[in-house]
Amino acid sequence: MKHQIIADLEQRYTAKRYDSNKRVPQEQLNVIYEAIRLSASSINSQPWKFIVIESDEAKERMHRTFRNKHQFNQPHIKAASHIILFAYNPNYTREDYAKVVDKGIADGRVSPENREQAFGSFAFAELNTNELGDTSSWTKAQTYLALGNTLHVLARLGIDSTTMEGVDSELISEEFSRELDGYQCDVALAMGYHHQEEDYNVNLPKSRLELDSVLTVL
Ligand SMILES: Cc1cc2nc3c(=O)[nH]c(=O)nc-3n(C[C@H](O)[C@H](O)[C@H](O)COP(=O)(O)O)c2cc1C
């Protein structure tokens, strides 16, 4: 018998049209948000912000950011139930990591006398920081872990979604500058329930490269 995880992952797909009458129930949203928070990241850096577009007003603002490009994704903004902006800190610093260390102390994972020692792992962040203090390629990679985790959780909850790298990062930075507070959003995720007649992707078979062409067991 097929494992339930595989069945769920085979059933998930990228929705191309949403039913604007359906909304994700709050208790499932709470599961999704908590799952996002629990996402793993390098040195537990958590260099991210997740901005949820829920209200009509927020959707209107997000809708406006498609005026220059990627209009193929624009219909999802008003029709999908929610959109999550996955944003990363482009200049992750020791002060940012101090919040992680101090939360580790508060959570009983790090003892207060080992606080200084706990900053040892920050060397890994430094390795991924260029001469201008830019950590983007490293911190952005962390947001994709949260994204992948979210896709899996949505698959298991039976909620449809559309990952969108087709977003205008510059206009999002302008429109949501207050909320982003210097963080950068290069990818967003629409979620909801597909439109029964108009989602041309729903009945297409899943297509992936063969396992032996991407996986080597030694
Ligand atoms: C990082 C990333 C960015 C993507 N950007 C878009 C996008 O802007 N618009 C879209 O319709 N699909 C987008 N997709 C969906 C992919 O095309 C899709 O996941 C892939 O073809 C596999 O199909 P499936 O998700 O239906 O299994 C994106 C997927 C990922 C993982």
pLDDT at 167: 98
* Segment 135-146, tens digit of pLDDT: 999 999 999 999
Mean pLDDT of 47-53: 98
pLDDT at 93: 98
* Segment 156-167, tens digit of pLDDT: 999 999 999 999
* pLDDT > 90 in the chain, percent: 100
Q: Which residue, by CA, sits nearest to atom 29 of ligand 1? A: 163
Residue 48 CA to residue 51 CA, distance in Å, equals 10
For residue 16, the number of C-alpha atoms closer than 13 Å in the C-beta half-sphere is 9
pLDDT at 48: 98
* Burial (CB count <10 Å: 0-12, 13-18, 19+), residue 101: buried
102: CA distance to ligand 1 center in Å? 37
* Segment 57-107, tens digit of pLDDT: 999 999 999 999 999 999 999 999 999 999 999 999 999 999 999 999 999
166: CA distance to ligand 1 center in Å? 9
Specify whether the CB–CB gap between 52 and 62 falls below 8 A. no
Ligand 1 atom nearest residue 206's Cα: 27
Residue 10 CA to residue 13 CA, distance in Å, equals 8
| Beta strand segments in the chain, E | 48-53, 82-88, 160-164, 184-192
pLDDT at 145: 98
Specify whether the CB–CB gap between 90 and 182 falls below 8 A. yes
* Segment 170-195, tens digit of pLDDT: 999 999 999 999 999 999 999 999 99
pLDDT at 65: 98
Q: What is the largest CA-CA distance in the chain?
A: 61
For a mutational test of ligand 1's pocket, the pick from 164, 185, 209, i.e. the residue with the most ligand atoms closer than 8 A to its C-beta, is: 164
pLDDT at 113: 98
Mean pLDDT of 125-135: 98
Single pTM value for the model: 0.98
pLDDT at 184: 98
Among 146, 167, 145, 154, smallest CA distance to 194 is for 154
* Segment 15-34, tens digit of pLDDT: 999 999 999 999 999 999 99
Ligand 1 lining (C-beta closer than 6 Å): 13-14, 73, 162-166, 187, 206
pLDDT at 124: 97
Q: What is the mean pLDDT of the chain?
A: 98
For a mutational test of ligand 1's pocket, the pick from 163, 164, 206, i.e. the residue with the most ligand atoms closer than 8 A to its C-beta, is: 163
pLDDT at 90: 98
For a mutational test of ligand 1's pocket, the pick from 14, 168, 209, i.e. the residue with the most ligand atoms closer than 8 A to its C-beta, is: 14
